[in-house]
Amino acid sequence: MPLDPQFNDIIAMMRAMPPLSTLPIEMIRSAPVPENPNPTPVDAVRNETIPGPGGKMPIRIYRKGTGTLPLLLFIHGGGFVVGSPDTHDEMARALTAQTGCVTVSVDYRLGPEHPYPAAPDDCFAALKWAFAHARDLGADAARMAVAGDSAGGNLAAVMALRARDEGGPALKAQLLIYPVTDMTAELKPAPDGEFYIINPQETGFFHRSYLGDGARKREPYASPAFVKSLRGLPPALVIVAEYDPLCPQGEAYAKRLKDEGVETELVNYKAAPHGFMSFPVPMGKEGLAQSARWLKPRLV
Distance, first Cα to last Cα, the chain: 38
Distance CA 249, CA 151 (A): 13
Question: Which residues does 8 contact at the CB level (< 8 Å), separation at least 6?
Answer: none
Task: Report helix, strand and coil shares of the chain as percent, to nearest 5.
Answer: 35, 20, 40
- Are 242 and 268 spatial neighbours (Cβ–Cβ below 8 Å)? yes
Distance CA 161, CA 31 (A): 34
What residues act catalytically?
150, 244, 274
Q: 169 preceded by cis ω (within 30°)?
A: yes
- Are 68 and 128 spatial neighbours (Cβ–Cβ below 8 Å)? no
